């Protein structure tokens, strides 16, 4: 008989499909249309010529892909210990740390960018780097730092859920068989939480790819250096030139398609629960 993680019973199965009341459909239509209409408007406005113009923004696309990947790597490295700490230990101040992790999710990105600028720019830490002709603001490093700040909670929260779903009995059995904490983590915990970890990583990468407000405030919008795809969309759309507008629309559609695929992929991975059979 299979048992859910941490020896809890399996959640109840979803109800079988049936005919939905017409009133439910009618009540759902306004929100669905409100969400779908802008996306369809973007897609309808794109033509093959739009994507040809999109090639002119290849530097922004390349920068977004590279910085989002670097940001994801950093989030995994620094976020995994925090997720494990929150999932397996009780200590004073845990609620405070949990709240700090959630803060970037509700903090306006522009405010986050301003906070990063005040800390690492000339008003703050940047003064110490000025004598060495070094700077953080308005560089690619600033782009990565802004992406890590706003995207890391997505990985930490998903990784924490994955770690919490690993049965405690399996970890104890691994320790009983002589495996140390580190070996148990990599041989038992990580493999069993892999679906949640991958889902969190994918969502984190997508969030970093779409970051705009904090990047614009902290890194600026210098073409070829700090102009990411979202920033390029904003700059192109505000230029008032027809060709630039087509470019912004094409870039927006690319981001929409990537985000849609990422969400579906992450949901499929995250929906796979961690189950084990004590008799297996």
Give the residue extent of every domain in the chain: 46-274
What distance in Å separates the CA atoms of residue 117 and residue 90, rounded to the nearest whole number?
Answer: 34
What's the pTM? Answer: 0.81
The model's confidence at residue 95, banded by pLDDT at 50, 70 and 90, is very high
The model's confidence at residue 248, banded by pLDDT at 50, 70 and 90, is confident
What pLDDT is stored for residue 277 in this prediction?
41
Residue 4: what are its φ and ψ, rounded to 5°? -70, 165
Query: By the 8 A CB rule, do 253 and 46 touch?
Result: yes
Name the token pair of 236. 């192109």
Name the token pair of 84. 């494990």
The model's confidence at residue 132, banded by pLDDT at 50, 70 and 90, is confident
- DSSP, collapsed to helix, strand or coil, labels residue 268 as helix
What pLDDT is stored for residue 3 in this prediction?
45
Say if residue 195's pLDDT is above 70: yes
The predicted-structure confidence for 72-88, as pLDDT tens digits, reads as follows 999 999 999 999 999 98
Q: Which CATH fold would you assign to the domain 46-274?
A: MetI-like fold (1.10.3720)
The predicted-structure confidence for 146-183, as pLDDT tens digits, reads as follows 999 999 999 999 999 999 999 888 888 888 888 888 88
Q: Which residue in the block uniquely carries the two structure tokens 């048992």?
A: 3
What pLDDT is stored for residue 273 in this prediction?
52
Among the listed residues 197, 216, 89, the one whose alpha carbon sits nearest the alpha carbon of residue 147: 216
The model's confidence at residue 58, banded by pLDDT at 50, 70 and 90, is confident
Q: What is the CA radius of gyration of the chain?
A: 23
Say if residue 213's pLDDT is above 90: yes
* 132: alpha, beta or left? (left if phi > 0; alpha if psi -120 to 50): alpha
């Amino acid at each position: 008989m299979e048992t859910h993680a941490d020896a809890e019973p399996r959640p109840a199965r979803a109800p079988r499909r049936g005919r939905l009341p017409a009133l439910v459909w009618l009540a759902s239509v306004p929100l669905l249309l409100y969400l779908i209409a802008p996306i369809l408007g973007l897609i309808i406005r794109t033509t093959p010529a739009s994507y040809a113009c999109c090639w002119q923004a290849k530097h922004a696309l390349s920068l977004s892909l590279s910085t989002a990947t670097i940001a994801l790597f950093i989030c995994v490295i620094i976020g995994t210990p925090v997720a494990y700490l929150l999932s397996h230990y009780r200590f004073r101040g845990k609620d405070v740390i949990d709240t700090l992790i959630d803060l970037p999710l509700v903090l306006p990105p522009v405010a986050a960018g301003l906070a990063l600028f005040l800390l690492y720019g000339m008003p703050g830490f940047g003064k110490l780097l000025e004598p060495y002709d070094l700077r953080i603001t308005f560089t690619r490093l600033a782009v990565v730092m802004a992406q890590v700040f706003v995207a890391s909670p997505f990985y930490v929260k998903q990784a924490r859920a994955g770690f919490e779903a690993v049965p405690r009995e399996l970890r104890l059995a691994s320790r009983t068989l002589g495996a140390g904490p580190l070996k148990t983590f990599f041989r038992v915990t990580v493999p069993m939480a892999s679906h949640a970890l991958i889902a969190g990583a994918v969502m984190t990468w997508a969030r970093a790819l779409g970051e705009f407000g904090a990047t614009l405030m902290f890194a600026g919008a210098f073409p070829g250096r700090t102009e990411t795809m979202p920033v390029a969309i904003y700059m192109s759309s505000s230029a008032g030139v027809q060709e630039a507008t087509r470019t912004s629309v094409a870039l927006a559609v690319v981001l929409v398609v990537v985000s849609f695929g990422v969400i579906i992929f992450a949901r499929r991975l995250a929906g796979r629960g961690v189950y084990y059979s004590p008799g297996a």
